[in-house]
Amino acid sequence: MEANAEVQVPTRKPDNRNRTSLLRKFYGQRYLQVMALLGVAWMLLFHYAPMYGIVIAFKEYIGIGEIKNAPWAGWGHFQAIFEDEMMLKVIRNTLGISLLKLIIGFPIPILFALFLNELRSLRFNRIVQTITYLPHFLSWVILGGILISWLSDVGVVNDVLMGLGLIKEPIFYLSEPQYFWGIVIASDIWKEFGWSAIIYIAAIASISPELYEAATIDGAGRFQRMRYVTVPCIKGTISILFILSVGSILNSNFDQILVLKNQVNESMSSVIDIYVYEIGIKQGRFSYSAAVGLVKGVIALFLLLLANSFSKRMNQSSLF
Amino acid sequence: MFTRDRRTRGDVLFDRLNVVMMLIICFVTLYPIWYVLVNSFNDGTDAMTRGLIYWIPRKFSLENYEIVFSNAGIMTAMGVTVAKTLIGTVIHVFFTAMVAYALSRRELLFRKGYMIMGTITLFFSAPLIPNYLWLRDLGLLDTFGVYIYPAMFSFFDLIIFLTFFREIPDGLEEAAKIDGANDFSIFVRIVLPVSLPVVATISLFHGVWQWNDYFVGVLYTNSDSLQPIQTFLYRVIAQSSSNQIVGATGGAINRTVTSQSIKLATMVITTVPIIVAYPFLQRYFVKGLMIGSLKG
């Protein structure tokens, strides 16, 4: 590590000699520097440069010509957000879907991991894992396609329900807004519960068997071992993941909802990300939709920081 | 996990119920996929006129697939997906690993600054519209490059590479250095070959993303010759622009296919590569997830 030795040279030398040694060192690692700087260049070009475009939220930009020539609009677009009637619905849908997903969807992988752990056959355990991870790798286009065909008036769901005599007329599930949240939440759980359980499965696997043996000797039954050994041991994992999902509550599942939404169920399916996309790209209201996107971004960042500091205080474990 | 000597009657009952519950879960997970497969191998008009098919094809037919494979539009879209997945993944992995290797070397000047710059990208990014406008100004709209360049680097993946590269013993690199190799050739000739597990993990991560993503195609491309298969399916399924599929049937009314049966066959061929790669996916994804979560 010759280069490291150089760093420790006392820095009391005259300034220009210091600079030449820095330059020499830089030249000595020129290959490394080029490799790193290519990454920096990518970040500047594809990550930092587009941020300049955020200024259109404060301008009247209609999509043609250069952004810098567009007239300033001040806070006009942000004020417009408060007068936009659609915004109320959009916020309600975003929070409603996310909160329900959290309340219903969060405990399921934990329960699944707990019961999976109780299986006596390790081989069967593996098989169940392999099967339940699979939907995670399929795209929402495919799963959305299956859902749309199943939920149509001549689809599987209506066929089965009518066959059982539970309903008399076929229901157009995706055309009736009141079913939309349920469909989105259920299908999301179906796709991800197995995959989300992985972290818990790993956490449970790392619990020392001695704890269970001790509990058994003390006369603990099945559920007592689950309740007093397994759950306390994975508590830390649970709380970190919970905080993480609270922090990202404004991110509804864009890929999923874009496939499942249509004009008829719009009142229940329009969430912030979808709204930004539709008014921005489809209707060409660039400036207004950039303002909505910016507000969402700022609130989301704030939520994440809040969640992180909360996590730090709760159990000394944080993301950053 | 461990042997339980005394199994009470309650335990036995619990075990049985648990197995039954797991079997039901597996069925619920697999059945929709099975359903698509069965129906894609069934005569389309038969499915439409004689009711739904649940278990095995009622009137076996390969015609759906014949039509899908002979349809130029679908095959072009398939080609775009294969191309963007292969090219995109190779470039993404090589580029991200290269930057990660440079940042893994502690003697790198300004290393801290580079790291801070990268960490910021994890938390702030330009919203959709500014990003769209910027890619438009770069001239990337409606080009194949829009699938590749904006996705060729990810700081999150870099962290995973970094964690791995730190574990490589310094001796390997020192020996090459004495032989006069420069840092780039050390990276290519020594570091990459010993990092195959992490390279495989990131390749699969990115490959699945490239294969499954439909939104880049929806947002940034207009021409049919550039849409990947997922975007094609999105347009057919969600926007019910069935003209594309009807076009695929070639207007042949006397054939035994329906737009629905062709959709299903297209969905199956879109999913087959994922299923084929699945054993690897499962192995390496779990590993990658662990590295990622340890980091986080």
Residue A133 contacts B where some CB pair is shorter than 8 Å = yes
Across the interface, whether the CB atoms of B184 and A67 are under 8 A apart is answered no
In this prediction, residue B6 carries a pLDDT of: 61
Helices (H), chain B: 9-40, 44-49, 63-70, 72-104, 111-123, 128-137, 145-148, 155-166, 170-178, 183-186, 192-194, 196-212, 215-220, 229-237, 243-248, 259-295
Residue A67 contacts B where some CB pair is shorter than 8 Å = yes
- How many angstroms separate the CA of residue A239 from the nearest CA in chain B? 14
Across the interface, whether the CB atoms of A259 and B30 are under 8 A apart is answered no
DSSP string, A170-233: ---GGGSGGGHHHHHHHHHHHHHHHHHHHHHHHHHHTS-HHHHHHHHHTT--HHHHIIIIIHHH
Average pLDDT over residues A153-163: 88
Question: pTM (2 decimals)?
Answer: 0.86
DSSP count for chain A of H helices, then E strands:
18, 0
In B, which residues are within 8 Å of A29 by CB distance?
Answer: 105, 107-109, 183
B60 in helix, strand or coil?
strand
Helices (H), A106-179: 107-117, 122-133, 140-151, 156-163
pLDDT at A6 over 50: no
- How many angstroms separate the CA of residue A141 from the nearest CA in chain B? 6
Residues pairing with B60 in the sheet: B42
- How many angstroms separate the CA of residue A152 from the nearest CA in chain B? 12
Window 72-131 of A: residues touching B by CB (8 A cutoff) are 112, 115-120, 124, 127-128, 130-131
Taking alpha carbons only, the member of A139, A85, A92 closest to residue A252 is A92
Selecting from B18, B99, B281 the residue whose C-beta is nearest the C-beta of A137 gives: B281
Window 111-150 of B: residues touching A by CB (8 A cutoff) are 111, 114, 117-119, 121, 123-135, 138, 149-150
Average pLDDT over residues A233-257: 84
In this prediction, residue B279 carries a pLDDT of: 83
pLDDT at A142 over 90: yes
Q: What is the pLDDT of residues B197-244, one digit of tens each?
A: 889 889 988 999 999 999 999 999 988 899 999 999 998 887 665 445
CB B64 within 8 A of CB B41: yes
Q: What is the pLDDT of residues A86-101, one digit of tens each?
A: 899 999 999 999 999 9
Query: pLDDT band at residue B295, thresholds of 50, 70 and 90?
Result: very low
Query: pLDDT band at residue B173, thresholds of 50, 70 and 90?
Result: confident
A to B CB pairs, distance under 8 Å: 250
In this prediction, residue A7 carries a pLDDT of: 47
In this prediction, residue A3 carries a pLDDT of: 44
Query: pLDDT band at residue A141, thresholds of 50, 70 and 90?
Result: very high
Taking alpha carbons only, the member of A153, A143, A154 closest to residue A175 is A153
Q: Which candidate in B6, B95, B129, B230 is best for mutational testing of the A interface (most A CBs within 10 A)?
A: B129
Describe the crossing of helices A15-28 and A30-43 by its angle, rounded to 10 degrees: 90
Average pLDDT over residues B3-16: 75
Window 253-272 of A: residues touching B by CB (8 A cutoff) are 254-255, 258-262
Q: Which two tokens stand for residue A126?
A: 């593996």
Query: pLDDT band at residue B291, thresholds of 50, 70 and 90?
Result: low
In this prediction, residue B38 carries a pLDDT of: 92
Q: Scanning the structure block, which residue is given the tokens 């494979």? A: B69
CB B215 within 8 A of CB A258: yes
Nearest CA in chain A to B20: A119
In this prediction, residue A240 carries a pLDDT of: 81
Interface confidence, given as ipTM, is 0.86
Q: What is the pLDDT of residues B45-89, one digit of tens each?
A: 888 777 787 888 888 888 889 888 988 889 999 999 999 999 999
In this prediction, residue A65 carries a pLDDT of: 80
Mean pLDDT of chain B: 86
Q: What is the pLDDT of residues B96-145, one digit of tens each?
A: 999 999 999 988 999 999 999 999 998 888 889 999 999 999 999 999 99
d(CA B77, CA B144) in angstroms, rounded, equals 12
Q: Return the percentage of chain B with pLDDT > 70, whole number.
A: 89
Q: Provide the sign of the torsion angle of the four alpha carbons A137, A142, A148, A149, taken in this order.
A: negative
How many CA atoms within 13 Å lie on the side-chain side of A295?
A: 19
Nearest CA in chain B to A39: B99
Across the interface, whether the CB atoms of A289 and B263 are under 8 A apart is answered no
- Whole-Å CA distances, A155 to A121, A147, A149, A152: 37, 9, 6, 5
In this prediction, residue B289 carries a pLDDT of: 64
Average pLDDT over residues A50-76: 86
In B, which residues are within 8 Å of A198 by CB distance?
Answer: 286, 289
Chain centroid offset of residue A109 CA: 16
Q: Which two tokens stand for residue A241?
A: 């993941």
